[in-house]
Chains A and B, each alone.
Chain A
Amino acid sequence: MLNTFVFALSSVVTHIGLGMLLALGVHRTMTRGTKYFVRTAYFFPFLVSWAAVALIWKYVLDPTFGIAAYYLSTTTNWLASPTWALPTLIVVDWWHTIGYTFIILLAGLQTVPAQLHEAARVDGANAWWRFWSVTLPVMSPTIFFATVITFIGAFQIFDPMVIMTQGGPDGATRSIVQYTYEKGFQSFEVGYAAALSLVLFVVIMVVTGLQFRLSRRWVHQ
């Protein structure tokens, strides 16, 4: 359960942050070719199924013949290390899902009216100030939406754990949905599994409700 929380929280924060940087980077003027390449390259992994992603990355991260170990010149076996396994899965999740966050935020950026930026520029606002007081408020509903969706998605994470680590080492990456699956379909404690599902449901409802409540403070209507 704690793993799921750690995963959800860190993945939401990093996804929104990185996705925003990417969206801002691509939203600027760049040549058509560059824009096409960048958009395609970052978005495509999202369309690859988690099963394929998990299998590919298992090999990419392999300490003896994986490209990650070679280019980072280490022999750490990330997936077998209780400290590194969860952060590693978070990075793999970036690779898979960042394109999605990025597209949503990019769509939001495109709704920011250019006149507002012009007006701020005339008033002498610098780039950072324009971002903070024009772009962010106009985009806040999009950011809010992306945050809620990413949170709910992160709470339901299952595929990479099952395929890459089986929840190990020593439970370091076991997620709540995976635990439910193990209880319900491997040790056939269906009642216990149903109870776990209910707990997950309540947690998602509470967190989502909290997000909606807090959103009144910062989301621009």
Chain B
Amino acid sequence: MRGKLLDLVLVLGGLVMIAPLVWLVVNALSEPINAFQLPPQWIPNPPTLQNFHQVPGLIPFARMAWNSLQIAVLTTAGALFTSAMAAYAFNRLRFPGRDQIFSVLLAALVVPVQLTVVPIFIMMRWLHLVDTTVAIWLPALVNVFGIFFLRQYISSIPRELDEAAIMDGAGHFWILFRVILPLARPGLTALGIFVFEASWNNFFWPYIFLSTPEKMTLPVGLVSLQGAVGGGPAVVLFAAITLVVLPILILFLIFQRSFIASIATTGLRA
């Protein structure tokens, strides 16, 4: 009986958690005169898609979505590749200064990205890369956390496997890509999901580096749309937010298990 009551409380809490999102979608689907009514309407009546049609007129939405996707894919691929290479080197190879370099990397882990933005901004200005998407993905190609995380993962893979491969005449690349990485697949998936999600949702970095609407990513685009909508009813803004949130919701519902595993194992915070 007490268990049922607690379940009820948790479910009600869950409903409160998703209420703002439901409200978002309902208003996005409502005609401007019917939106934002009080008491709140929880079913759009009549539903309409007209707000969605207005989004591209105010901001280059498709362009921004492409930028976000491009940056997220490059960042994820780059971070996975460099992390795997570095993690292998730090775990399996012996070279002078290895442990010292790794300690420096560990120290870099506590340094928040916000602190590096001023020096990186200066570097990007030198390279004439400010206000380009390159400025967003280039510094993200190497991910210190990824190196640390995969090194932990690789160290749990038995060395006998590499030794057997060496006997067969395999080189380091062969061992890494044919022996180690297939075994480290759950770790790679977890890291990949997390890097992708963090990049897709990143606001701080693009907000600082990008100013031309055609070069912006979706989170920055949404905030600029807020200005374009002004003080009027924000149904169009809500439609745009829905377009940004929905793909993640769908991806999450499909890959829920991997998403949750990626949080539980990487413990990375966006």
Where the two chains meet, the residues of A that have a C-beta atom closer than 8 Å to any C-beta of B are 22, 25-26, 28-31, 34, 37-45, 47-52, 55-57, 59-60, 65, 67, 70, 95, 100, 103-104, 106-107, 145, 149-150, 152-153, 155-156, 158-159, 162-163, 177, 180-181, 184-185, 190, 193-194, 197-198, 200-201, 204-205, 208
Say how far B229's CB is from chain A's closest CB, in angstroms. 10
User: When the two chains form their complex, are residues B197 and A158 in contact, meaning their CB atoms are under 8 A apart?
Assistant: no
User: When the two chains form their complex, are residues B14 and A158 in contact, meaning their CB atoms are under 8 A apart?
Assistant: no
Distance of A45 Cα from B9 Cα, bound (Å): 19
Does B53 touch A at the CB level, under 8 Å? no
Closest A-B pairs by Cβ, 5 of them: A41-B14, A49-B201, A51-B219, A107-B264, A65-B36
Known: A55-B241, A185-B208, A208-B110. Contact between A34 and B11, CB under 8 A?
A: yes
User: When the two chains form their complex, are residues A56 and B20 in contact, meaning their CB atoms are under 8 A apart?
Assistant: yes
* Chain A residues positioned under 8 Å from B202 (CB to CB): 49
Which label, helix, strand, loop or mixed, suits the secondary structure of the B interface?
A: helix
Distance of A107 Cα from B122 Cα, bound (Å): 41
Please tell me the number of chain B residues within 8 Å of chain A, measured between CB atoms.
63
Known: A60-B23, A152-B112. Contact between A45 and B17, CB under 8 A?
A: yes
User: When the two chains form their complex, are residues A52 and B6 in contact, meaning their CB atoms are under 8 A apart?
Assistant: no
Q: Which of B9, B20, B244, B267 contacts A149 (CB 8 A)?
A: B267
Distance of A122 Cα from B93 Cα, bound (Å): 51
* Chain B residues positioned under 8 Å from A107 (CB to CB): 264
* Chain A residues positioned under 8 Å from B18 (CB to CB): 41, 44
User: When the two chains form their complex, are residues B20 and A51 in contact, meaning their CB atoms are under 8 A apart?
Assistant: no
* Chain B residues positioned under 8 Å from A159 (CB to CB): 203-204
User: When the two chains form their complex, are residues B241 and A34 in contact, meaning their CB atoms are under 8 A apart?
Assistant: no
Which of B80-88, B160-168, B245-253 lies at the interface with chain A? B245-253
Scoring A42, A52, A70, A95 by chain B CB atoms within 10 A of each residue's CB, the highest score goes to: A52
